[in-house]
């Protein structure tokens, strides 16, 4: 493996859901490694905080306030990245939401929102990234999926369905793009100590995974040599929360 293949310095990554949690931790990891970052989320205040943390590492950080479920806004986000950096090497599709309700009580409109954020926008972002990634020497797409991509849980029907969809889409996408040199990986963490898991009030949060743990897994994917692609990484807390 050459030195260039282990380095993220000078590359450009777009991170969705970059305002907090796993997205922020991943953006900061990328910046620490010398990667310029485009930060996308709906909250300008949170993105500005993430950008400030990233810029401390001497990289450029582009703030993009957008709704990933809006096709027009998402398309313009990719256009802005190209205008600013003239390249895109990495897509981290992290934006997500959850809903805790049994199938008897769940609101179908909320189900639609969960699928829109977790699956449809992820698929659309991946498709939009491809023309740009084809011009990169070391392109990669990393989906932040979940252990819910592989098993089912009660009272999380839409979340489980959407995350199963992400894993299936990622597998098919890899089959489509592998010969073009584009890495595609799904990182599937168990419970992570973020705002998304605030709904669980009967767990020991100190035993959960932390956003930085997921960022480390993403770093591993991006630093593998060009002839290797980890297509799926599952992370579990060592001890049951």
Residues acting as catalytic residues: 159
Q: Within the chain, where are the H helices?
A: 3-6, 21-32, 44-55, 71-85, 108-115, 121-133, 157-177, 211-223
Decide if 210 contacts 192 (C-beta within 8 A).
Answer: yes
Coil, strand, or helix at residue 91?
strand
The strand pairing partners of 64, in sequence order, are 40
Report residue 70 as tokens.
């809006």
Q: From edge to edge, which strands make up the β-sheet containing 140-144?
A: 61-65, 36-41, 12-16, 90-93, 140-144, 183-189, 232-235
Q: 110: burial class by Cβ within 10 Å (0-12, 13-18, 19+)?
A: middle
Decide if 128 contacts 120 (C-beta within 8 A).
Answer: no
Of the candidates 169, 170, 167, 215, which has an alpha carbon nearest to the alpha carbon of residue 194?
A: 215
């Amino acid at each position: 493996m050459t030195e260039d293949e282990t380095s993220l310095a000078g590359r450009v990554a777009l991170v969705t859901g970059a305002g907090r949690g796993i997205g922020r931790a991943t953006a900061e990891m990328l910046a620490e490694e010398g990667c310029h970052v485009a930060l996308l989320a709906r909250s300008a205040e949170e993105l500005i905080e993430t950008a400030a943390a990233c810029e401390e590492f001497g990289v450029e950080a582009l703030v993009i306030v957008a709704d990933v479920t809006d096709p027009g806004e998402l398309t313009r986000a990719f256009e802005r990245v190209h205008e600013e950096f003239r390249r895109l090497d990495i897509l981290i599709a992290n934006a997500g939401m959850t809903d805790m309700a049994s199938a008897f009580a769940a609101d179908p409109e909320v189900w639609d929102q969960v699928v829109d954020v977790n699956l449809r926008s992820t698929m659309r972002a991946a498709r939009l990234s491809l023309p740009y990634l084809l011009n990169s020497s070391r392109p990669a797409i990393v989906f932040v999926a979940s252990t819910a991509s592989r098993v089912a849980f009660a009272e999380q029907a839409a979340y489980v369905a959407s995350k199963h969809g992400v894993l299936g889409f990622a597998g098919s996408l890899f089959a489509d793009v592998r010969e073009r040199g584009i890495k595609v990986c799904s990182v599937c963490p168990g419970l992570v100590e973020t705002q998304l898991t605030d709904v669980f009030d009967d767990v020991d949060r100190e035993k959960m995974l932390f956003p930085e743990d997921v960022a480390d897994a993403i770093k591993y994917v991006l630093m593998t040599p060009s002839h290797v692609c980890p297509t799926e990484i599952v992370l579990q807390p060592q001890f049951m929360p």
